[in-house]
Amino acid sequence: MNIILLGPPGAGKGTQANVLVEHHGMLQLSTGDMLRETRKADTELGRRVAAVMDAGELVSDEIVSAMIDTKLGEMGDDVGAIFDGYPRTAAQAHSLDEILAKHGRKLAVVIELGVDEDALVDRITGRFTCANCGAGYHDRHKQPAIAGVCDKCGSTEFKRRPDDTEETVRTRMAEYRAKTAPILPIYEERGIVQRVDGMAAIGDVTKAIEKVLASA
């Protein structure tokens, strides 16, 4: 099964994708994660990607679609794909149709995570992760049980995304409204959009998504 998780930054796409990977053995294809790898490299492309991401703007359609094409080519045919943060523009949505057809895959469902924008700014600007195992925490809502020590692996190193500042988050939201939300009608016309309340507790969002998948 191939699915898209759609929603503004901070809606919980990555969190829910992680759960689906664990429960269903699907693979998460996050263009944000792929670009974070790309920006680490001391190359012209790495520097260009870093500048665009730190401004909260979108990286070019060609770059991200090529990444998705490559990843799907490397995956086993029997493994389902969770598209997280892709597509983000109409051009990417059209590319995805072509890429899926090329790899003999079909889109089962687009899950739209509905959220409140002001709450998202609070969510995003407070979030941090364990630098060792990636466990997620939050300044105001989910501190580790022992301050400064990861609950899961005991590491004392944590990191924050450089694009999780309030100013960048506002730009990322504006990009979502202007370029990503308008792709929903493409999928609505096909009757494959399901809306889930992304403001509910993480476990309840997972339950709602599982229900959607069971009937997809």
User: CA 64, 68, 74 angle in degrees (round to 5)?
Assistant: 145
- Residue in 36, 48, 161, 195 annotated catalytic: 161
Minimum CB distance to ligand AMP, residue 82 (Å): 13
Which residue, 117 or 149, has its beta carbon nearer to ligand AMP?
A: 117
Select the residue whose beta carbon is closest to ligand AMP and give its number. Answer: 32
At position 173, the amino acid (one-letter code) is M
**Active-site residue 127, yes or no?**
yes
Using CA atoms, how far apart are residues 131 and 146, in angstroms rounded to an integer?
Answer: 16
Residue 58's nearest CA partner among 85, 82, 94 is: 85
**Active-site residue 13, yes or no?**
yes
Minimum CB distance to ligand AMP, residue 47 (Å): 14
**Active-site residue 170, yes or no?**
no
Using CA atoms, how far apart are residues 208 and 22, in angstroms rounded to an integer?
Answer: 16
Beta bridge partners of 82: 3, 28
Interacting residues with ligand AMP (CB under 6 A): 9, 31-32, 35, 52-53, 56-59, 64, 85-86, 88, 92, 163, 172
- Active site members: 13, 88, 127, 161, 172
